[in-house]
Amino acid sequence: MEALKVLKSEKASIERRLQIAILSNSSNENGNAFANKDAFRQAVINTLERRLFYTPSFKIYGGVAGLFDYGPPGCAVKSNVLAFWRQHFVSEENMLEVNSPYVTPEIVLKASGHVDKFTDLMVKDEKTRNCYHADHLLKDFCKDKLEKDLNISAEKEPELKHVLAALDDLSAEELGAKIREYGITAPDTKNPLSAPYPFNLMFQTLIGPSGLSPGSVLVLISPRQGLLRVREFTLAEIEHFVDPDDKSHPKFSKVANLEFLMFPGEVQVSGQSARRIPLGEAFSMGIVNNETLGYFIGRVYLFLICLGIDKEQLNFRQHLANEMAHYAADCWDAEIECFYGQIECVGIADRSAYDLRAHMDKSGVSLVAHENFAETREVEDLVITPMKKELGLAFRGNQKAVIEALEAMDEREAMEMKAVLESQGEVWYRVCRLDKDVIIKKNRCLVIFKERERTSKGLYTISTSIGKRYARTDELGVPLAITVDSTSSVTVRKRDSKVQIRVAVGEVASIIKEVTDGQSTWKCFINIVHQHLCLTLKRINGF
């Protein structure tokens, strides 16, 4: 057995030396040899900076880590990526685009849980006080050992692989123990490191000259991976709302046959590698939580492949239980193998209704959607009716906050309050907007059951007259509005004159194009349509 262990160790060492030799002797299409991955990475970075794809900001003053300027070719690449993102997700998925500020009031991030829970484990250089991600240092150490250490023992190799697989599930104490065991030091100075500690990634700032409105922005620590870890970046995010009782997706079948590298949580913990799994199979086996989540995993895969990402260097890794964000029911990262190792590029999460509930509770504003049923249904619906007069006398200036908090209660809270009010006559209730508890007495709040009827033909719609719809279209500034009258005709209406003409469906595209291109005038088309109408009337009357 001892002899076999020695032979196995020698075999592993020979395989690693052979792999490094092959890498060292490999060359690109131009015949330029690169000694290893680090040299190739540096050559690419030098080329990108030399050709002005990007360059450190304020370079003549020494630059600032993590801040970059994009040159002409870099701007073009970024613009093309954003344009393709809009086409692939916004246009093809019929989404609506919004643009939000970088700075967010602290009260919003407090409600969402980011202030308290959006943390990473950090370590500090005990002399310079520079900060580093603890898991990144441990990950880099393990990968370097496995790739470059020719004398690594046969026993140590599986241990390091297991650490890499379970890295995101390690506690602060376990991370600290491994860092001490392996003798990991600060990468820049080789100084000893502190024990891991939680660091909130939300950077506090002040909004306005008074300094009385705190805000936060998301920051990244110790930028040292080119454009992958920068202090400012464009975040393209999709918020897709789904019925919590039915998370199926009508287009899931279009991505169900996609097969790519997936790394489920159970596979990670067992120390195995990512494997190819058809997306439909991953859903049917319960690996992926639901169809909607699976659909967007498939769409992200297609997006990255179309951008040119090598499918052999791409895998989707499921978050482990200890790693899962506070808002997520299931979460997957699209990870790309590149110069800096396996890097998270996209996160796809089932956020459940955490955000909506949290912000409703904190703001007192209802953030609910109304589903209209295909058939008439009679349902028993809980109605909460605050007695506004009594609440106004009791809370005066705080009346609105108390009323909104009461109206935002869910059914469980309301029933509990009803029971306490009936038995005790009063109840303490937390009003988040006031950040305090108030007393609600029986004569100040009435909770009843009431039967309602709901009918509809689809998701939440508002029935309005055509006149009101035209007015709303005018308000947006739409110059020409089209109303579908039937399968054969539409009505085209001009905003400025409010004149309408009815045209055949087959003619409307050419009419709109000629008017907007300036090839013809609106008045000409009115005359043409009027002449057609006169000819039609003549034929009808037998002339």
Q: pLDDT tens digits for 408-441? A: 777 778 888 888 888 888 888 888 777 788 888 8
Give the Cα separation of 225 and 142 in Å (integer): 18
The closest alpha carbon to 207, from 324, 311, 109, belongs to 109
Amino acid 10 reads E
- Beta-carbon neighbour count of residue 364 at 10 Å? 20
Region 220-232: mean pLDDT is: 72
Give the Cα separation of 314 and 332 in Å (integer): 13
Residue 290 pLDDT > 70: yes
Give the Å distances, CA to CA, from 125 to 18, 132, 225, 281, 483.
37, 8, 19, 46, 67
Name the DSSP letter for residue 237.
Answer: -
Region 365-384: mean pLDDT is: 68
H, E, C per residue of 338-400: ECCEEEEEEEEEECCCHHHHHHHHHHCCCCCCCECCCCCEEEEEEEEEECHHHHHHHHHHHHH
Per-residue DSSP letters for 35-49? SSHHHHHHHHHHHHH
> Which carries the bigger pLDDT value, residue 385 or residue 366?
366
- Label the pairing between strands 259-263 and 314-318: parallel
Q: What pLDDT score was predicted for residue 543?
A: 47
Residues paired with residue 342 on neighbouring β-strands, in sequence order: 337
pTM exceeds cut of 0.75: no
Are 20 and 144 a contacting pair, CB within 8 Å? no
The closest alpha carbon to 373, from 455, 495, 309, belongs to 455
Of the pLDDT bands very low, low, confident and very high (cuts 50, 70, 90), residue 81 is very high
Percent of the chain topping pLDDT 90: 25
